[in-house]
Structure 1
């Protein structure tokens, strides 16, 4: 059986994070030819870049603040020039919102979540659309969340931003289907990462109890991302694939 991503190129944002690094590592096992590891913390992707280069993959590590649309445009353009084409963008960059009820949130709290989680995803889609239109079967995979499908207390900015990602995915899929760009999302349940360090232990336990299969790990999502990035999903667009350990079951 051939690798799903044989000969393809990819850009992964949030590559220093738990999910971004897991996606990049999995893409290496699926035959990716070249990859851009993009993160606001450039130093943190160095070790991952060296690991992938040792597997004969062309790797570029780049600084990226996804909230900066001009920087995102430049990164996608430069990657397309360097690699000849961009086949896949995976938008994994994201932040959690403060653990607070709405009346205790500042406007800055709200805007920070939106700028990274939603506007950052918009910037990525826009950059690819500007660069890669008319190229057959380009895939964008956005990381949303089951929190965009359900309501969580104490997390209004995060839930709203991820709901926005889900609907933005559908709109972009409709707008660019005729131009060879597929846009899908993955909606993970919760898996503990550094982003959840601010949560009290009892809150984290309560969240785990809502997952019939328990907490997952970033590696539980990478197969779904690879499927949506690959030609196996060439007739799939506008879909939000739930990978949540049963969290969203009634």
Structure 2
């Protein structure tokens, strides 16, 4: 997907990226591949990879006075000190990918600026992420479209109707990859317990989870129907699902408690 035509204002006025770790780096890679001029990007991160400068990016240089976009990609616990050092006006879109930091917090730091909160997830590193967006009252359609296009380079984008939904998004898709990775761990351990060599068990678990996820994305069939298609009455899958789908001790109540705990923590971080 080439979004070069959507980034002309950025190429004229500049984009400032504060924080260039795993997520910031994934976004920057996507932007440079989709039409943003490296010379228009200023990265502020003392630990950024030196080779970004080799690509033409301005690394830890003085940012433009009024960039088109200020992207905040630092950890939430660092955001307070970062916000104290920054200042932009109404002509700069502030786009944040920090979990738990609310629009109210940004309004205190940037009272005149349009602000969009984004919640991507780690598969963004390979262009397979999904990001939820919500903007403040100053973020109009043009600013939301720009934020959408910036995040689309690392995967799907959805828009929320209310900021309160962001805690659930954080708990489902933001934290969700870790749940899936743990599923791979658990499947691997279970395979080993049934006599498989560790490397083979891991290969089977990885490929099974990745393949099932890809099938769920490629097929419009509801997940329940996909599950039923694999399940023969009285067969091996049915025996396993009888344990996994137990209403009291199975996966549904466990996932519900998991997501609820993550959402509660997200709400605490936003206070």
**TM-score normalised to structure 2 length:** 0.43
- Structure having the larger proportion of residues in helix: 2
- Greater relative contact order structure (CA < 8 Å, 6+ sep): 1
Structure having the higher Rg: 2
**TM-score normalised to structure 1 length:** 0.46
